[in-house]
Structure 1
Amino acid sequence: MRNLKTVLAAALLAGLVVLAGAGCGQSTRSPVAPNGVLQVVAAENFWGNIASQLGGSRVHVTSVITSPATDPHDYEPTAADARTIAGAPMVIANGIGYDPWAQKLIAANPVPGRIVLNVGDLVGIKPGGNPHRWYSPTSVQQVIDAIVQDYGKLEPKNGNYFAQQKTRFETKGLAQYKRLIATIRRKYHGVPVGASESIFAPLAQTLGLKLVTPPSFLKAISEGAEPTAADKTTVDRQIADGKIKVWVFNSQNSTPDVKRITDAARQRGIPVTTITETLVPVSATFQQWQSHQLQALAGALAQAKVR
């Protein structure tokens, strides 16, 4: 479905690029807005929220994708999105094929001195790899480091302020998130689990959980493709035979196959927990969102009585 939507949206995206160019042209906006606050655009709100916390009062961040009802893979940008990105002196995009619309709008509307933080380029993951880097604590730390470095380049006079924001975020903001990761890894390392798509894979690896769902199934669901019959059979058998202790599914990408498998897991008595692509609720911070999901996962693992 995603591939079809991408094709159908191509003409719309091209039109938005033209509109942004007509409305904004070659913007020469200073990296700092008239009110002295650095203006930053993030393609997705998980990166945008981190950027906002690191920037504090010296940065204003606009996130393009914010609604939990939106699947970022399928997103079709609006004219307002095009204008927002066209005038931004700093843009954060996930890359890795996750938000190609953002890459096109950035390229079509260059700004002198603009900094583009492409997460895929930063962490060394190319298109075709797993794009869900915000579920990798290692990648999250790399992004934190890069954002603060980029803020310092655009606003050198506030370098010390940004460094203090970074320290506060890492030591206080992310404290519970880090504790939960360490606890789950210690208590449940090696426990076999299943997942509906590849979004969970980076976190599962960090937690030391054994993700036994076929990688090709995970990738197919993530990319909107049809899983093979063999992969479906494997997943069905893993659930029927109790080979997985917990089932994790992305509620923002719930296909008929995923719904069927999730129902089967519940009927089999396998604890089910959910994760999402973007912040839920929208008002949550990155760490609140992730910590809530980690707590739910820990509860599911405890319910499964795997230790």
Structure 2
Amino acid sequence: MNEQVEAVLLAPAEIAESEEKNPLLVALGDRVRNLRAQRGLTRKAVAKTAGVSERHLANLEYGTGNASILVLQQVATALHCPLAELVGDFTTSSPEWLLIRELLEHRDEADLRRVRVAIGELLGTAGVDAARHRRIALVGLRGAGKSTLGQMLADELELPFVELSREVEKLAGCSVREIHDLYGTNAYRRYERRALEEAIQIYGEVVIATPGGIVSDPATFNELLAHCTTVWLQAAPEEHMGRVVAQGDTRPMAASKEAMQDLKRILDGRAAFYSKADLTIDTHGQTLQQSFDALRSAVLPVVGAQNGT
């Protein structure tokens, strides 16, 4: 068989096993795949937005596609990130960036977290909100129980309850699905940021159930971490899927034949961001009441400490 024809017929994974790949292309593919997972987007959705074929994008993700700079720019736009972030070179943009990178290189996650918080305090973007401990924000993948447990917690604490996705719909004047279909993911993220900013401005005390993808935009997630006590509601992938299906909604995996694999990839891509939450509650194998008891036990000391009780 002609080598070119055979390469076309091979699946991306088979190509990956049949030839030695360039380390630069492999690293680029990993970044594309991870960014897509963090944003909860299917390969089909990114390919459509970027204006490239799914096969082309798959080859790029597997490190076998030598994409042009213009295609990379299209993919970066579809993933709502700068091209510099996609190619992994954004910290070479100035001498100060280089000096900062040198100080942070090889630091562990604990050190980097302390630096992030300290920078936020220095710049006045974090750690200065006195109401932070009275705003409780629940984060996690869809199906984690944020809406149900959030409403229960708000009732317990006698606080307002805000479901951020509903606020996004109010701002846009249409459903979340319609926002994505009509205007795209980037537009949805802008509405999400506005909805969060308005909730923070309006409520000094509140329980907020956030959309699963709120961690996809670093600026929005920084805003959340700065102004709210965040709680990550963890669950097993199978539990997430079961709850979402029970709700009659499998977005964004609705058209995928590999829904569970997609969900696991999204969870893996976002877990490192969810883990930045102040508190973590594992609801795996727990009843609703057990999950709520664990959430209440974790949150009450935080709220009580702020009130001096």
Q: TM-score, normalised by structure 2?
A: 0.28
Q: TM-score, normalised by structure 1?
A: 0.29
Which structure carries more relative contact order (alpha carbon 8 Å, separation 6+)? 2
Whichever structure has more helix as a proportion of its residues is 2
